[in-house]
Chain A
Amino acid sequence: MWSMFFPFGRRRATEDRADEPVLDRRPLPLRRATGNRLAVIGFAMLIFFLLFSFVGPLVYRTNQDVISLVDANQPPSAAHLLGTDANGFDQLGRLMKGGQTSLEIGLFAAVVAVTIGTLWGTVAALSNKTVDSIMMRVVDVFLSVPFLFVVLILAVTFVPSVLSLSLVIGGFSWQVPARLVHSEVLILREQDFISAARIAGTPPWRLIIRHLVPNTLGVVIVNMTFQVADAILAVAYVGFLGFGLQFPDVDWGDMLSDGMQYMQAGYWWLVYPAGVCIVLTVVALNFIGDAARDATDVRLRHR
């Protein structure tokens, strides 16, 4: 069933699962089914949040433009299903708006990270030994600097927007895909179809784009789901610390940190819905990622 979603995974020659722990005595199909069930739940949750954020505002129309202090901090009611925040904005509508930016940044940052990582890893693996080891040491260097620190420093320096935050987060989280693709290409480049393509006179860029990258897509897509999850968490951290998007824009982490000051007042609707949204989205992505990884037989987990 997974090949439906991930048609790119390389099949291993033997289908023996010797590395499966022996202790699990349940039959293999049952284990597969449990994995798939979690993936289906994950997909359902993700689709729910995508619909909620992008289609929701069309159905549930709220004022998100004009501050109205008369309506500030109202508890949930029929008019405002999740109450209002300190500016009088409808909290449910705001969650949708925050979801848009969080998901957009998450997806875009992951695309940036995976693109840079794939190219970096492929080029390194195809280069001669010296260039390869220099390129992979650069990966080590970037892996050693705590990612959030750099993102925060850059968020202070530049005005954070959806685009700049995605670029910064993506630009500093390409190391793991680079490593994964690197080791994958090291194996691939020794295989006959690559030699055949080379002998046929395929230029290097074509070799990379037509032959190598498509064969690493299995690994890359698995890693990408984790990247989206991590990027959503990173946005939440930056927003929570108050260095996220500027006022009219909002993300879930931002909302949570704004609501935090009302915790002692008991305004739960300003704190928990945003937190629950972050956690559920990340859980959904991790479910999908775990199942996809098992399906494509990649035995590497990032971080």
Chain B
Amino acid sequence: MSVLVVIGVSIFVFALLHVIYPSPARDVLGLRAPQMAVDAWNKAHGYDDPAAVQYLRYVKDLLHGNLGYSYIENQSVLALFEGRMARSAYMSGISLALAVLIAIPLGVFQAVKRNSIGDLVVTSTAFTLYSMPVFFLGLLLIQVFALSLPVFSFQASQSTSLLTVIADWHAMTLPIATMTLISVAAFSRYMRSSSMDVLAQDYIRVARAKGLPERLVLLRHLVRNASLPIVTLVGLSLPQLLTGNLITEQLFNYPGLGLLFFDSLKKADYPVLLAYTQAAAILVVAGNLIADIALSIADPRIRLR
């Protein structure tokens, strides 16, 4: 099933590329090149073949790890992605991990102390964050923690070495916090309602009735069962994560894939734009598949069809 979706995605992205950027000839030969030269270039490089032939060639290249060539940058897309990929993965990965680690206890707390002042505060904060564009949250954090109280830097680390980036918490705290908070807002909503569902189950009552301390009831029985939907949610949240990544990297000028996408938008560098879209879509499909498999391992009640 996932394979079908990936094939569909590749057709979609190819069609998009084909319609808005049929040939890189103008980028290579210049905007004022005569039509004859363009035609000749297209013929020489196979850009006048039928769409189906070009699509198969595109898929073949994709399977060989060739994501295309940016004639504007005069570099292969893969070379542009290198290095940036690790930086983006670091920022997104650590925010996702932090978000899960914060959202699970937070959701449990809200469910246990349901309708208390604390629950109300957390719920309304989460609701506001959930409705907030990523860039506005980032701006607020910059205003408070970089301009009003100069604790952190308003620009992310510019280093090309991943180790330096990781060590530079002064510069990386705000971008990571921005992405984490947005995800926490979404995750804790679900964690709260799934914890409430679990709290109403008989096995929680049994655990309490047999005299298990409340701490163990929560740790052993509640958290384990209530966290299951988070697995699916993490898989489903990949598109938002990629979008958040794009905005956060642009806001904090962090040289990752999102900033590359933004720069390529300004230059109308379609090979890079579509390669990233393709990669992102495949990542989303893969993420959902992994989430499904992980869930079926974690929860024996679920069988993969």
Contacts and interface: CB of A to CB of B under 8 A. Distances in A.
Interface in B238-271: 239-240, 242-243, 246-247, 250, 261-262, 265-266, 268, 270
Interface stretch (A57-65, A203-211, A234-242): A234-242
A303 B11 CA distance: 24
A237 B200 contact: no
A127 B44 CA distance: 45
Interface string A224-259: 000001000100110011110000000001001100
B230 to A, nearest CB: 15
Given A140-B5, A263-B142, A147 B239 contact: yes
Contacts of B8: 137-138, 140-141
B58 to A, nearest CB: 16
A257 B262 CA distance: 14
Contact of A144 (B127, B250, B284): B284
B139 A271 contact: yes
Contacts of B130: 286
A156 interface: yes
Contacts of A253: 133, 135
A257 B134 CA distance: 13
Given A156-B268, A278-B136, A23 B114 contact: yes
Contacts of A260: 139
Interface residues of A, number: 44
A141 B12 contact: yes
A183 B143 CA distance: 46
Contacts of A157: 20, 268
Given A144-B285, A149-B261, A229-B131, A22 B200 contact: yes
Contacts of A22: 200
A241 B262 contact: yes
A152 interface: yes
A61 B20 CA distance: 42
Nearest to A257: B135
Nearest to B277: A149
Query: Nearest 3 A-B pairs (CB), nearest first?
Result: A141-B8, A282-B131, A21-B196
Interface secondary structure of B, over-half rule: helix
B9 interface: yes
A264 B242 CA distance: 28
Q: Which of B4, B12, B127, B136 has the most CB of A within 10 A?
A: B136
A157 B20 CA distance: 7
Contacts of A286: 127, 130-131
A255 to B, nearest CB: 12
A145 B139 CA distance: 27
B280 A283 contact: no
A298 B240 CA distance: 23
Contacts of B250: 241
Contacts of A56: none
Q: Which of B135, B143, B277 has the most CB of A within 10 A?
A: B135
Contacts of A201: none
Q: Which of A141, A241, A286 has the most CB of B within 10 A?
A: A141
B115 interface: yes
A48 interface: no
Nearest to B278: A145
